[in-house]
């Protein structure tokens, strides 16, 4: 639990810093030449016609780097189901992220002394399988409860990036979006699905975790941590376009 909490807090701190560094490293654009200006003048009529044409609609959803216009155009049940399936099952992190978490849990099992995890949850391949199954169950429970709640409350599950260029404002927007997101029609609303999903992910372990870790207190801690992961996920979606590709892929594989 401590390792997972530390990683979540670290992600909240370094993701904006990485993105800020990438923005600062970008070279300033060169001034346009007279030939470029002349060419732009000749093509002004064509550009005006292109801008007047509305962009084609698409049912595809990019959960990593969504575009604000697409997220504000409304969403139907089919799009929500597609988003749920892609976030929960049909991406590489569905296999790698639970394995990463299981390894962390075995490297630093919760509890100490008499309250420590039992040996069958700490040692060997069977213990890894148990912890891996726990991570998968928590992940699926969170996403499924979030999807079902969003359908009932007419809540859009997609993240809407900030239009600001300030790192602080974008970070504040990303974390705030965990509490207040958007409805199907694009209006602000309480992020009920995040709260319900976090509760489901936290309490599902009470059905199979060892004695001493299947109580209300530990379930509440797991739910709080899952909600924190949701906030970290919003930060990642906000700053992912400015991240170096290898680092973006790494975060996607271990934390998506």
Structural domain contains residue 38: no
Examine residue 61 and state whether it is found in any structural domain, yes or no: no
Domain assignment of residue 249, yes or no: yes
Q: List per-block mean pLDDT (blocks of 10 residues) for the chain, which spans 256 residues.
A: 47 52 49 47 46 41 45 81 96 94 92 83 94 97 98 96 96 97 95 98 96 93 96 96 94 86
* Kind plus residue range of the DSSP H or E element containing 188: strand 188-190
- Distance of alpha carbon 57 from alpha carbon 174, whole angstroms: 26
So what's the pLDDT on residue 143? 97
pTM value?
0.74
205: Cβ contacts below 8 Å, ≥ 6 apart: 134, 137, 138, 213, 214, 218, 219, 222
Which are the contacts of 135, defined by CB distance < 8 A and separation ≥ 6? Answer: 97, 98, 99, 101, 102, 105
Residues 207/111, Cβ–Cβ less than 8 Å: no
CA distance 234 to 217: 26
For residue 200, tell me if it sits in a domain. yes
Query: According to the model, what pLDDT value does residue 15 have?
Result: 56
Nearest Cα residue to 63 out of 85, 41, 33: 85
What whole-number distance in Å separates Cα of residue 198 and Cα of residue 146? 8
Q: Is residue 175 part of a domain?
A: yes
pLDDT for the residue numbered 73: 60
Q: At what angle do helices 216-239 and 245-255 cross, to 10 degrees?
A: 160
Does residue 179 belong to any structural domain of this protein? yes
Using only C-alpha atoms, the chain has a radius of gyration, in whole angstroms, of 22
Residue 57 lies in a domain: no
Specify the pLDDT at position 68.
43
Residue 221 falls inside a structural domain: yes
Locate 36 and state its tokens: 């470029």
- Tokens read off for 219: 């379930």
Q: How many domains does the chain have?
A: 1
- The pLDDT, as a whole number, for residue 62 is 46
The C-alpha atoms of residue 193 and residue 149 are separated, in whole angstroms, by: 5
Task: Tell me which residue range forms the domain holding 171.
Answer: 2-18+88-255
125, 118 in Cβ contact below 8 A? no
């Amino acid at each position: 639990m401590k390792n997972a909490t530390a990683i979540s807090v670290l992600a909240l701190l370094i993701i904006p810093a990485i993105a800020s560094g990438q923005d600062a490293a970008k070279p300033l654009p060169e001034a346009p030449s007279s030939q470029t200006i002349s060419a732009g003048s000749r093509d002004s009529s064509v550009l005006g016609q292109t801008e007047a044409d509305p962009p084609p609609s698409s049912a595809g959803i990019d959960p990593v780097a969504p575009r604000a216009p697409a997220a504000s155009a409304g969403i139907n049940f089919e799009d929500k189901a597609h988003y749920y399936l892609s976030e929960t099952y049909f991406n590489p992190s569905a296999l790698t992220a639970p394995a990463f978490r299981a390894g962390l849990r075995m490297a630093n099992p919760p509890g100490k002394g008499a309250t420590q995890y039992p040996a069958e949850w700490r040692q060997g391949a069977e213990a890894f399988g148990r912890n891996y199954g726990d991570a998968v169950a928590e992940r699926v429970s969170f996403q499924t409860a979030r999807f079902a709640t969003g359908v009932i409350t007419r809540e859009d599950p997609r993240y809407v990036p900030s239009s600001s260029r300030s790192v602080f404002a974008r970070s504040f927007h990303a974390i705030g979006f965990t509490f207040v997101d958007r409805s199907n029609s694009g209006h602000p609303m309480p992020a009920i699905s995040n709260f319900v999903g976090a509760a489901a992910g936290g309490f599902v372990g009470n059905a199979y975790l060892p004695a001493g870790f299947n109580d209300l207190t530990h379930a509440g801690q797991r739910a709080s941590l899952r909600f924190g992961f949701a906030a970290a996920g919003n930060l990642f979606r906000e700053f992912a376009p400015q991240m170096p590709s290898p680092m973006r892929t790494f975060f996607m594989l271990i934390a998506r």
